[in-house]
Homo-oligomer: A and B are copies of this chain.
Amino acid sequence: MLPQAFSEIDFLAKDQIKTDEESLKYWGKDWTTYFDIKASAILFPRTADDVVKTVKWARKNKIALVPSGGRTGLSGSAVATQGEVVVSFDQMNKIKDFSPVDQSVVIEPGVVTEALQEFAHKQGLFYPVDFAATGSSQMGGNISTNAGGIKVVRYGLTRDWVIGLKVVTGTGELLELNNGLVKNATGYDLRHLFIGAEGTLGFIVEATIKLAPAPPPMKVLVMAVPGLDSVMKIFAEFKTKTSLVAFEMFSDKALAKVLENTGLAAPLETQSPFYVLAEVETRNEQDEEHALGVFEKCLEESWVTDGVISQSEVQAATFWRYREDISESLAKYSPYKNDIAVTISKVPNFMADLDKILASAYPTWEVVWFGHIGDGNLHINILRPPGMSKEEFVKECRKVDVMVFDAVKKNQGSISAEHGVGLTKKSFLNYTRSEAEIGFMRGIKKVFDPDNIMNPGKVI
């Protein structure tokens, strides 16, 4: 960055700017580990007006800006690799307003997901978007990647809870989008354009979030499943006959890693190639009977060979660990992660395709599967073979990517179900979006960010 441009930042206080090496490394990256970090400065706006002035300053000086939230992203969308100036929302983390009548809350983008969940809980309400990184991810980042997670079957995605958005565009304009309205049929809904845009059109400076009623009691079932086809049958049965909140699948390899890493006892005595975790709402005894009835039917049909249902909240939480501790248990193997989706009905064929590809191309590699089957989202983790260098491993995985994404394309799926495109998936975007679509996306980018200063080089 030019020192001259830097001297023009008179709209921020000194403690709103960091340029020391440690800070540049810390705020210049997300959870991805494959990029060389090169940030020029970290700015910490405290108000929407600070952001407007920052963007106008950047525009005047042709300086690229990278937005930074909780830095838990897995696609490199919040990574500075080209000497960009990072705009951190760490100091815009207030819950500004709450309306019990509207059951909505006005927040700054730096509010941590868990803080919003806890605030909602205190009001007798519920913020239902839930995933592993809620303790540090920020709402601005969640909105910018349309975060999903484990309760999508019942509660949908982040998009479904955003009823208002204030953004600063790449032209430095502050837009107030939708103002928390439920019904508003007045032309293009720009709010939905900014949700999932990964900061490439503008930065989110405020959001109005709808809250859900407090959830009823839940039961968690863990079941041993002999085959993939059965997984889908079990899902259909639970989806139709219970109020299903989550439906997760993991392989025996995934479970083995969790047991090894956590010291937890196995959930079931029966060994099985696949396991399924189902969470269902149990408002009353009748609901619980329904859930047990579905489980019994699954046993009778031999779709499951064994199973257990939680008897307490503590036990339910333990059952969830078999699924939620997978990522952490794999961390020491530096897994190469993929996050892909197809429609639910295509999951069995798609997984069979992938299994063949991976087994034939890399028969000795260890591949760990888990996924949100209830919404067609699979996470594939390839573990680094002992002795292989990180560089060689990544290079080989990129070859796998092409084969995996070919299968995604064949099944009309998504190369990024919930992590976003960022830098990691950018060159594969055309496996999910057509060239014509990408062309229109570029056109839209130019409308909101004519100087290409808002997170340039990401997504498209």
A432 to B177, CA, bound (A): 10
* CB pair B432 A186 closer than 8 Å: yes
What 1/0 mask marks residues of chain A from 153 to 181 whose CB sits below 8 Å from any chain B CB?
00001011000000001000111110111
What 1/0 mask marks residues of chain A from 181 to 204 whose CB sits below 8 Å from any chain B CB?
111111111101101111001000
CB distance from A404 to the nearest CB of B (A): 15
| A415 lies within 8 A of chain B by Cβ | yes
* CB pair A434 B176 closer than 8 Å: yes
| A69 lies within 8 A of chain B by Cβ | no
* CB pair A185 B102 closer than 8 Å: no
Pick from B148, B152, B416: contact of A186, CB under 8 Å: B416
A187, A344, A438, most chain B CB atoms within 10 A: A187
* CB pair B188 A101 closer than 8 Å: no
**Which parts of A424-453 form the interface with B (CB within 8 Å)?**
425, 429, 432-434, 436-438, 440-441, 443-444, 446-448
A182, A183, A236, most chain B CB atoms within 10 A: A183
Q: In the complex where A185-B420, A196-B185 touch, is A345 in contact with B99 (Cβ < 8 A)?
A: yes
| Chain B residues within 8 Å of A416, by CB | 184-186
Copies of this chain, complex-wide, total: 2
| Chain B residues within 8 Å of A184, by CB | 341, 414, 416-417, 432
**Which parts of A372-417 form the interface with B (CB within 8 Å)?**
372, 375-377, 412-417
* CB pair B148 A343 closer than 8 Å: no
* CB pair A186 B444 closer than 8 Å: no
**Can you list the 10 inter-chain pairs with the closest CB atoms, starting with the nearest?**
A192-B192, A443-B447, A182-B375, A101-B345, A183-B417, A184-B414, A179-B412, A173-B436, A183-B341, A183-B377
Query: In the complex, given contacts A187-B197, A189-B195, A447-B447, what are 17 additional A-B residue pairs having Cβ atoms less than 8 angstroms apart?
Result: A101-B344, A148-B183, A152-B183, A180-B412, A181-B341, A181-B376, A182-B376, A183-B341, A183-B372, A183-B377, A186-B425, A187-B429, A187-B438, A188-B196, A192-B193, A440-B447, A446-B447
